[in-house]
Amino acid sequence: IPISQSDEATLTNVLALVGILKHFKISDADIVDKINALKAVEMRLESIEGIRNNLIINDSYNLDLDSLKIAFQFVREYNKSTKSLILTDILDSKEPADELYPEVAELVNEQKFEKIFLIGEEISKYYSLFTSETYTFDNTAQFINSKVITEIENQVILLKGARKFEIEKIKEILELRKHDTVLEINLNAILHNINFHKSLLKPQTKMMAMVKANAYGLGSYEISEFLQLHHIDYLGVAFADEGVELRKKGITTPIVVMNPEQHSYDSVIEYNLEPEIYSLRVLDLFNEQLIKSGNQENYPIHIKLETGMHRLGFKPVEINELTEKLKSMNVKVQSIFSHLSSSDVPEEKEFTLNQINAFEKISTDLIDELGYQPMRHILNSAGISNYSDYQYDMVRIGIGMIGESSNKTIKKQLQDSVSFKTVVSQISEVSQGESVGY
């Protein structure tokens, strides 16, 4: 069963739910269908861009030891080196306070927060148990009025509070943008869609996520960080500057540059990006830059084959010359790939299979000449859905992770990850014949 959230609490809840449904003899198909439709509860582990380059993790209205552990697990996986915690009294615990709060302090101390802000008269009594720089407040209003939060910058700030304390007021102060109109990206839906496509593949098949063009407008860094958090094998960008930006922000996942321009080769090498090589000229020019840079290692490159689109890629007649050059250069072919132009068009199945057959033959010839086995990949999102028998070693997912598919059966299994929300400013009644301005 593809599950969009992989934290321990979600897995436990889903397993319990499956057990109950099986007890009532609900069919496996219905169980999968219903679980696919589950939505994440809003205001739980919500990531929000904050002022002063902070990242706000809002996990409001649910506070106990288990939810605290899950929130800490989530925060640990973000790249920012410093973190702060805003934590309120725990109101619904059956444990006595003198047992509960030492437990909480021990758990919090393991996370090594830079600053801790305790809100509530009860938890504040135990401030001395917290080893980080700790501030105490009787209530949320006192905390807001103190202005201490304005001193924090370049951090992850976790908001964890009981409903009574209304810490959404703190969130409103900390968030960067406050507009009625928002483009909302549901990361849980993206993860669900990735996991669904993975369910169509063999367990060992790797996946490259395409984050070119600012991740289709969703935010390349935010999406890439989330994908890295969930162990995506590769990221793909169109141009080197996109990859450089991701590296500068802490993304360490391997990144393929699909259109490496000649003037960007030095940046490709400096930031450990992996270029697509699609012609002998490009190979020669990139090798020249490798020599200039003094790079002595087998630099990873990705060879694109021309299989019928007649755009970029090596043709069969070029393979012998290509292999001779590769053997004499300080490069290693990390993967061999091509692109299916019509994998989403049922009427073009014959053309698509011809592309796949051409790829099989040319890539096999190249591998035989190289003497080692690079990865191979040809399937895009539609290819995963419609031609999964040809998944090779890796696949590439793009619009499929957003929730788009021309295959109606597949589309029903995907979740929409993008919502455009706004408010109606005013409703006016206009008499017939009156003019309406723009």
Q: Verify that 145 and 193 share a domain, yes or no.
A: no
Query: How many structural domains is the chain composed of?
Result: 2
Instruction: Please report whether residue 429 resides in a domain.
Output: no
Identify the band that residue 94 occupies on the pLDDT scale cut at 50, 70 and 90.
Answer: confident
Mean pLDDT value across residues 229-240: 95
Other residues' Cβ atoms within 10 Å of the Cβ of residue 45: 22
- Please give the pLDDT value at position 98: 94
Q: Verify that 110 and 209 share a domain, yes or no.
A: no
Q: Which of 156, 174, 192 is the last residue of a domain?
A: 174
Q: Verify that 201 and 292 share a domain, yes or no.
A: yes
Instruction: Please report whether residue 431 resides in a domain.
Output: no
Q: Verify that 244 and 361 share a domain, yes or no.
A: yes
Pairing of strands 394-397, 133-137: unpaired
Spatial contact of 401 and 384, defined as CB atoms under 8 Å apart? no
Mean pLDDT value across residues 291-314: 91
Q: Verify that 229 and 315 share a domain, yes or no.
A: yes
Listed residue (39, 48, 106) closest to 78, CA to CA: 48
Q: Verify that 385 and 330 share a domain, yes or no.
A: yes
Residue 317 pLDDT > 50:
yes
Q: Verify that 195 and 334 share a domain, yes or no.
A: yes
Instruction: Please report whether residue 26 resides in a domain.
Output: no
CA-to-CA distance for 343 and 9, rounded, in angstroms? 38
171 is catalytic: no
pLDDT in tens, 381-407: 999 999 999 999 999 999 999 999 999
Least confident of 177-186, 263-272, 296-305: 177-186
Residue 271 pLDDT > 80:
yes
CA-to-CA distance for 137 and 121, rounded, in angstroms? 7
pLDDT in tens, 146-177: 988 888 888 999 999 888 898 888 988 888 87
Q: Which of 149, 174, 199 is the last residue of a domain?
A: 174
Residue 2 pLDDT > 90:
no
| Residue 429 vs residues 158, 349, 432, 433, 435: alpha-carbon distances, Å | 46, 54, 10, 12, 12
| Structural domain for 228, as ranges | 184-420
Instruction: Please report whether residue 129 resides in a domain.
Output: yes
CATH of the domain at 119: 3.90.190.20
Mean pLDDT value across residues 47-67: 84
pTM of the model: 0.72
Q: Verify that 136 and 243 share a domain, yes or no.
A: no
Task: Transcribe 150-168 into DSSP letters.
Answer: GG--SSEEEEEE-GGG-TH
Instruction: Please report whether residue 134 resides in a domain.
Output: yes
CA-to-CA distance for 216 and 226, rounded, in angstroms? 15
Q: Which of 174, 202, 217 is the last residue of a domain?
A: 174
Mean pLDDT value across residues 34-59: 74
Instruction: Please report whether residue 4 resides in a domain.
Output: no
Instruction: Please report whether residue 36 resides in a domain.
Output: no
Marked catalytic residue, from 25, 202, 372, 438: 438
**In the structure encoding, which two tokens stand for residue 21, read together?**
């449904």
Instruction: Please report whether residue 404 resides in a domain.
Output: yes
Q: Verify that 136 and 282 share a domain, yes or no.
A: no
Q: Verify that 148 and 210 share a domain, yes or no.
A: no
Other residues' Cβ atoms within 10 Å of the Cβ of residue 72: 19
- Please give the pLDDT value at position 43: 45
Marked catalytic residue, from 160, 171, 212, 304: 212
pLDDT > 70 in the chain, percent: 94
Q: Verify that 249 and 291 share a domain, yes or no.
A: yes
Residue 427 pLDDT > 60:
yes
135 is catalytic: no
Q: Verify that 255 and 107 share a domain, yes or no.
A: no
**In the structure encoding, which two tokens stand for residue 293, read together?**
């840079």
